[in-house]
Amino acid sequence: MINMKNEILLTVFTDPMMGLSYESEPILDRLQAEYGDRLSIRYVMSVLVRDVSDFMTDKERALPPEEGIARYCKRLAAIYKSEEFIGHLPIRMDGFRLFDAEHHSSEPLCRAYKAAQLADPGRANAFLTALRHATVLSCRPTTHFNEILRVVCAVGIDETAFSTCFRDGSAKAALQKDLDLTRSLGIRSLPAYVYQHSDKALLLQSFDYRDFVNAIEQVCR
């Protein structure tokens, strides 16, 4: 184990809808157990899907929105299922309907995490995990505000405080800072991990625990 005098900061650039981040949870849990208080993990929201049409095929876009997006969701569900091997965590996609004609961006999920941070910092990461699980395990349409509130209540965040932050512009402003940071680092693929220790920093994109440990060793030399 590395003898570190200063804290290592691991910044995770992600989106609550990401199956890849869900499948990477065992890696982060193992790192946290291994390095304890010497490793601090923070999450930066990077909005994977700004508009679902950006990911749809020409044939899907040519259909009426409800039908085209439904077809895209079916295709996306197969992509989620194909990611199960990464962390060997179950992914359930029965009736997957994350997007529809009125809910065509993952921005509400990212803004919800920022609202949770503002309303109840101590429960924000639990909220992020629960929101991710609601998406890939319970297969809830978590782009819908009422579904987000279900998660808020489940983790014990005050609904009024959360709703105020979500709607009054403060969460949106906090999310914009995350997006600006993502853009400034040139990150275009998620999830991405940035390790920082002292004056050293390293960007990593991997699903192998050994790569994460090697990254820590590199920044701590």
**Residue-wise pLDDT tens digits, 21-54:** 999 999 999 999 999 999 999 999 999 999 999 9
1: pLDDT strictly greater than 50? no
pLDDT single digits (tens) 145-185:
999 999 999 999 999 999 999 999 999 999 999 999 999 99
pTM (2 decimals)?
A: 0.94
180 CB-side CA count, 13 A? 6
Q: What is the pLDDT of residues 84-97, one digit of tens each?
A: 999 999 999 999 99
Taken in order of first residue, the domains within the chain and their CATH numbers are 8-219 (3.40.30.10)
Strands 39-45 and 192-197 turn out to be unpaired
Percent of the chain with pLDDT over 70: 97
